[in-house]
Chain A
Amino acid sequence: MADSIQSKPLSPHLQIWRWHVTMTTSILHRATGVANLAAIVVLLAWLAALAAGPEQYAAFQALIGSAFGRLVLFGCLVSVSYHIANGIRHLLFNLGIGLDKKTATISGWVVIVLGFTGAIKMMWLGYRALGH
């Protein structure tokens, strides 16, 4: 009786669990989804500054160009970039593609890397557009 109980797989337990990347990507998807509100606020501020006129736009550019502004912008871009990459992964999951453990683990690492590289790429393109 005791043996048959012990050999059964147990449901996740507070002390007995193993970290896995698919768990992290899932948590990060939710966290970045909520954090993307910050990105929406920056986007709205940009649009409002554009609409208000050249002076207000210059003030916005000065704010977002400050060290703190750049940090916030980069954070927003990492959040959006990761959410997009993992979002595509989720859409593929919904089509029944890549659901096996091995593929999901590999694609999990891929979207984490893409989240950061996508954000760096967008920052770089932004600097290039500004002529820096």
Chain B
Amino acid sequence: MATKDFRTPLSKARGNGASGHGTEHVIHQRALAVGLLLGFIYAATSILFFTNLSHQAMVEWFSNPFNASVMALLIIAAAGHFNLGVQVVIEDYIHKPSSKALLMLGINFLAALIAAIGILSIIKIYLGA
């Protein structure tokens, strides 16, 4: 034996699921869900009750930094929550390693694209569309 390993097999395995990060996945999914819920309730009620959905009214709504920030965070949380959720769906139904890896990569890119399009649009509206 080249190097001596003092850790027992149990101590190395403890806290690790099948892929070593299942707990974080579950907790992140829930944390994003709570954020999404709060953001959705705020954005939906404030837009549906206090605007007439016209271009001018929406530009005014987005000119408020808090509103623009909530909408940006809502898009980020939606992309993240969607990414984590679809990952589980792919893991459940796709078993061929190459297809699985490609789909996982694709979903990550899709989530990043959703966040980028959303944030860029919100910044543009905020600065005056």
Contacts and interface: CB of A to CB of B under 8 A. Distances in A.
Given A126-B53, A129-B48, A87 B33 contact: yes
Please classify the interface of chain A as helix (H, G, I), strand (E, B), loop, or mixed, using the class held by over half of its residues. Answer: helix
Contacts, number: 81
A78 to B, nearest CB: 15
B73 to A, nearest CB: 14
Contact residues of B: prevailing secondary structure: helix
Interface string A29-51: 01001101100100110011011
- Chain A: interface residue count, which band? 20 to 34
Interface string B21-60: 0000000001001100100100010011101110110110
B105 interface: no
Interface stretch (B3-11, B12-20, B95-103, B116-124): B116-124
A89 to B, nearest CB: 12
A54 interface: yes
A33 B85 CA distance: 7
Contacts of A44: 75, 114, 117-118, 121
B3 to A, nearest CB: 42
B82 to A, nearest CB: 7
B63 to A, nearest CB: 12
Interface of A: 30, 33-34, 36-37, 40, 43-44, 47-48, 50-54, 57-58, 61, 80, 84, 87-88, 90-91, 94, 122, 125-126, 128-131
16 contacts: A33-B86, A43-B78, A44-B117, A44-B118, A47-B122, A48-B121, A51-B120, A51-B122, A53-B55, A57-B55, A57-B58, A58-B55, A91-B30, A126-B48, A129-B49, A130-B53
Given A52-B129, A131-B52, 4 more contacts: A37-B82, A40-B79, A58-B55, A129-B47
Interface of B: 30, 33-34, 37, 40, 44, 47-49, 51-53, 55-56, 58-59, 62, 71, 75, 78-79, 82, 85-86, 89, 114, 117-118, 120-122, 124-125, 129
